[in-house]
Structure 1
């Protein structure tokens, strides 16, 4: 996919006699060579292209998308990097070796106690990130433990008034 910034940098080639590079970059070979041979239509075409470059890039990228669409439909492995969407449900059962080891080395009760100690040192309030730092567990594991405590009535949930971060508040601490 072409970028507008790159096209503008190539447009600057016209200042040193290389007019039309931006058109060649965007797949407009006929007019690109015309610009090269006529110094950007004697400078007028080159100046006019300052306004047209964003649309040129957009049209070129759309043409590329249409050209490669059948390939993407035939081969689902060939994904557009900018449009990758992971569905967490597919990966929920998977655990990295590091997370697996940390969960095995710490029981659920030990993790709960570590979360309580971390909350106590922070005036009874704890974010998920702080819980991860205190226990070494994954974000998902800490969030699961905190939600279980929330459902049991041991804590309340709110937001920090300054940052908006979700905080779990232990009323008993």
Structure 2
């Protein structure tokens, strides 16, 4: 939420709508950028709407654990690799380090199983 407020502050120097882009509202982000936040009125209203914008974005994204479980289920016995997971999870800020730590946590909790495919790659799948 802090990042959203910091991006909102860019509207004070003419870059309105950056907080909307960050929270997945690309169309309204473009409108805010082109119209200077509806001449500042929309930008001010958004100052109070940021908590709701962030909540909506988090709901749409779902938890990382849930996304990885869905990926494991959809990939079946073939499993998925780290690269598959990085491409499947829509969070651009997610790095491979955080993804690996989440997969390790899920392995310890026995939510995922680790194996090798015929090519020798490490794959993860449902137990």
SS of corresponding position for 1:13: helix
CA positional deviation for 1:68: 7.9
Provide runs of 4+ in structure 1 moved above 3 Å.
66-71, 76-81, 84-87
Distance 1:25 1:67, change over 3 A: same
Distance 1:72 1:79 in 2: 14
Q: Tell me the TM-score normalised to structure 1 length.
A: 0.41
Alignment of 1:102-121 (within 5 A): none
Provide Cα deviations, 1:27-70, integer angstroms capped at 9, x if missing partner: 10110000000110000000000111011111101101179835
How far residue 71 of structure 1 moved from its aligned partner, in angstroms, is: 3.8
Q: Gaps (5+ residues) in structure 1?
A: 88-173
CA–CA distance in structure 2, aligned partners of residues 31 and 80 of structure 1:
34
Give the distance between the partners of 1:53 and 1:46, measured in 2 at CA. Answer: 10
Name which structure has the greater RCO, CA cutoff 8 Å, separation 6+: 2
Instruction: Mark the CA change 1:38 to 1:80 in structure 2 (over 3 Å): closer, same or farther.
Output: farther
Count of residues in Structure 1 that have an aligned counterpart in Structure 2: 82
Structure 2: unaligned runs, 5 residues or longer: 74-79, 81-98, 110-127
RMSD across aligned C-alpha pairs, in angstroms?
3.0
Larger Cα Rg: Structure 1 or Structure 2? 1
